Amino acid sequence: MRLPERQLAVLEAASATDERSVAEIAAETGLKPETVTGAAFDLRDEGLLTVAETATETLALTDEGREYVDDGLPEVRLYRAGVTLDADEEPVSMGRVIGEAGLDGPAVDIALSNFARKGFGRIDSGELVLDPDADPDADAEAAALAALAADEMSDDDDAVIDRLDSRGLVSVEESTTRSIALTDDGVDALMTGIEATETVSAVTPELLASGEWRDVEFSEYNVEADAPTASGGRKHVLRRTADRVKDVLVGMGFQEMEGPHADSDFWINDCLFMPQDHPARTHWDRFALDVDPMDEIPEELIRRVERAHREGWGEDGDGYHSPWSEEFAREVALRGHTTSLSMRYLSGIAGAELEPPQRYFSVEKVYRNDTLDPTHLLEFFQIEGWVMAEDLSVRDLMGTFEEFYRQFGITDIKFKPHYNPYTEPSFELFGEHPETGEEIEIGNSGVFREEVTGPLGVDCDVMAWGLALERLAMLTTGAEDIRDLHGTLADIDFLRNAEVSY
């Protein structure tokens, strides 16, 4: 029998009575572990060896994890600083607590988001109050880090380990160990005697120049050999979802809108017949900007919108009969929805064609002063859209969503009647999360009221919506926490591996 040199070396190092690991054989033969593995697979295919595989996971602290073992988790430091400042008795300003905890840079964000996630207390209007019942000394993540540092991890803390992994505090290395043993045929072959042949694993310039390549025996490719994982740059899951959304909508005949992130309340709210004393327009929900009021708004449009608010529009409308301030309408804030763009386009000032039928969309960022939780961020992307046509009905609205979501493999959306000051009827949309089975809200929609279209000078039906891009991404990727997608707690492994399914 003839075998390539390296296979012969591996066969000779193997034993029929003891399983030997690839590492042992590599050490003994002086071959690289991947070479031993490759040779072992070839020998197994010849029936001369058996190869048994076991998967193992090893956990290690990352640099950041090690830092927290020494200094404490940022959220625990925040809590302890709060205790020093008596924030369990009454609210203390965030700045003081952060200073007392000695936190700066990204550690501040990390401390705040994990503090909130663990229920260590509340953060409200820039002040922090501790929950006196929280017990950071018993924090499971801190305990697991300490145990890991002392090399005494037990296996039963999977959820905690997953959390530490997604926080980037530990790294989980997955590897396969292989053990090798001789089969009876292998023993026979060795006893009968094997002649070694020399094999070459790569063509070199020398082999080519000398013409020797004609005579040498090339080793086979081993596609099963372990190789280091290479993670290069890739487009973010959300960006890929947004690109796909744009393709789908353009395919459905929509044109794209664009416009300012910071806009006047006029375009964000007043055009939408949102009463000026609506709770969403107070400082609680709104990111107000300290800049000059917006002056380039068409005068006549302002008067028409004011009239709709004061007296109503159309036959049945009665308006709000409450004060309406032009000054407030001109104030500038970060937009809380991209319906401001729809208003700009429908008014004609954005230069859009307005002869029905028309279809417009945008996939743009919006800003809301919400409380962070698994389904809410302070900034997110909205998929805005509207269709202008004669005689639109709820069937058209539902049909459009069904067609849109179907392109993402989502065929079970649900509609729930809803209220918006600017649409009648209005519907919220829900989709079932593929992992948790929960119904999550994915959008809001409706047909614009006459009080909205009238002042804009539009005299046919317009149906419109705002859908959340992040929620769509949660449905297509199975992410359970929006914070895994972006922000300081984003799960890098998830972002590296997630596929946008459609």
Ligand X SMILES: N[C@@H](Cc1ccccc1)C(=O)O
Q: Which residues are annotated as a binding site for L-phenylalanine?
A: 339, 382-384, 422, 448
**Rounded least distance, CB 329 to ligand X, Å:** 18
Rounded to a whole number of angstroms, the minimum distance from the CB of residue 276 to ligand X is 17
Sequence-ordered list of residues with C-beta below 8 angstroms from that of 359, at least 6 positions apart, any chain: 252, 253, 254, 255, 385, 386, 387, 388
Name 132's Cβ contacts closer than 8 Å, sequence gap at least 6: 88
Positions in the binding site for ligand X (CB under 6 A): 337, 339, 420, 423, 444-446, 464-466
Q: Shortest distance, CB of residue 281 to ligand X, whole angstroms?
A: 13
Nearer to ligand X, 313 or 386 (CB): 386
State in angstroms the smallest separation of the CB of 302 from ligand X.
21
Tell me whether residue 231 or residue 282 sits nearer to ligand X (CB atom): 282
Alpha-carbon distances of 202 from 5, 18, 32, 205, 323, rounded to whole Å:
15, 34, 16, 10, 83
The secondary structure of residue 414, as a DSSP letter, is E
Task: Provide, rounded to whole angstroms, the least separation between the CB of residue 420 and ligand X.
Answer: 5
Task: Judge residue 361's burial from the number of C-beta atoms within 10 Å of its C-beta, 0-12 exposed, 13-18 middle, 19 or more buried.
Answer: buried
Nearest to 240 by CA among 440, 4, 476, 467: 476
Residue nearest to ligand X (CB): 466
Please state, in angstroms and as integers, the Cα–Cα distance from residue 154 to each residue in 141, 151, 250, following that order.
Answer: 13, 9, 53
Residues marked as binding? 339, 382-384, 422, 424, 448
Could you give the 3-state DSSP secondary structure of residue 335?
Answer: coil
Count CB neighbours of 69 within 10 A: 17
Of 411, 420, 415, the C-alpha closest to 396 is 415
Q: Which is nearer to ligand X, 447 or 479 (CB)?
A: 447
Query: Can you tell me the distance from the alpha carbon of 206 to that of 203, in angstroms, rounded to the nearest whole number?
Result: 8
420 strand-pairing partners: 423
Nearer to ligand X, 383 or 498 (CB): 383
- The size of the chain, in residues, is 502
Nearer to ligand X, 9 or 464 (CB): 464
Closer residue to ligand X in complex, CB, 218/419: 419
Distance of closest approach, residue 469 Cβ to ligand X, in angstroms? 12
The C-alpha atoms of residue 483 and residue 380 are separated, in whole angstroms, by 11
User: Smallest distance, Å, CB 246 to ligand X?
Assistant: 18
Query: Cα separations (Å) of 479 from 108, 213, 485?
Result: 25, 52, 8
Three-state DSSP at 301 gives helix
Cβ proximity to ligand X, 121 vs 385, nearer residue: 385
In the complex, what is the shortest distance from the CB of residue 426 to ligand X, in angstroms, rounded to a whole number? 6
Angle between helical axes of 5-13 and 184-192 (0-180°, round to 10): 120
Residue 179 vs 347, nearer CB to ligand X: 347
For residue 216, give the 3-state DSSP assignment: coil
User: Which amino acid makes up residue 361?
Assistant: F
Tokens of 322: 């409450």
Cα angle at 146 between 144 and 149, to 5 degrees? 110
What is the CB-side half-sphere exposure of residue 416 using CA atoms within 13 A? 11
Q: How far is the CB of 369 from ligand X (least distance, A)?
A: 14
Q: How far is the CB of 410 from ligand X (least distance, A)?
A: 19
Residue numbers belonging to the annotated binding site for Mg(2+): 424
SS3 for 501?
Answer: coil
387 has which bridge partners? 359, 463
Which among 318, 380, 50 is positioned nearest to 186, based on CA atoms?
A: 50
Record the tokens describing residue 248, joined without a space: 């789908």
Closer CB to ligand X, residue 3 or residue 343?
343
Of 20 and 471, CB closest to ligand X: 471
